[in-house]
Amino acid sequence: MAEISLITIANVRSYVDLSVNYNQERFDIYVNAIQKNYLMKLLGQAMYYDLWDNVTDINTIAAPYADLVNGTSYSYGNDTIQYYGLKPWLSYLVMARITREGNAFHSDYGNVQFIDNEQDHLGTIGRRTQHELIDYYMQEAETYKFYIEKFLTDNSSDYTLLLSEDQPPDIRNGIITTTLR
């Protein structure tokens, strides 16, 4: 399976200020780690691998996965629902990871990446502010995750691998449900 990033720096800039000088190769490392760690938990193993079988590059994604990744409007009952896709969720997860790893300086001009800067430690934000930013990014990611789960549920006939034999029946989208006795 090829390492293809489903989001770009431009996608992240739609949600968070990010310096124009941010390194794409380093960014892709974070994206690929997030995709491996979070997408499989969300989609399940069978659907995760099926998604990658249907992605040629970031601009060539076969149906129905194009709608899952890029977003779409769909009808549910008498309502039209706007689904934003995986990109905002992935963007906020990536920013949380970048902030946690400590290679971003958060300034009034946006998030700036330090590369080979001997004085990196002078530009880092306080630990409390860093945790607040990480919490913010994770809360935003959770909000978008809710929309992803709703989209998958509302369109379950298009995503039949979501609940497949590779998952125990009490696990759906990485959430374990139990009954109290």
Contact 52, 167 (CB under 8 A): no
pLDDT for the residue numbered 66: 96
pLDDT for the residue numbered 163: 61
Q: Return averaged pLDDT per consecutive 10 residues of the chain, 181 residues in all.
A: 84 86 86 93 93 92 96 94 97 91 56 50 59 92 96 93 59 49 44
pLDDT for the residue numbered 18: 80
List beta partners, residue 55: 61
pTM: 0.79
The CB-side HSE value for 89 (13 A sphere, CA atoms) comes to 22
pLDDT for the residue numbered 80: 95
Contact 120, 101 (CB under 8 A): no
Neighbours of 154 (CB within 10 A): 15
CA distances from 157 to 16, 54, 134, 162 (A): 34, 17, 35, 10
Cite the beta strand spans of the chain per DSSP E. 55-57, 60-61, 72-76, 79-83, 104-107, 110-113, 171-172, 175-176
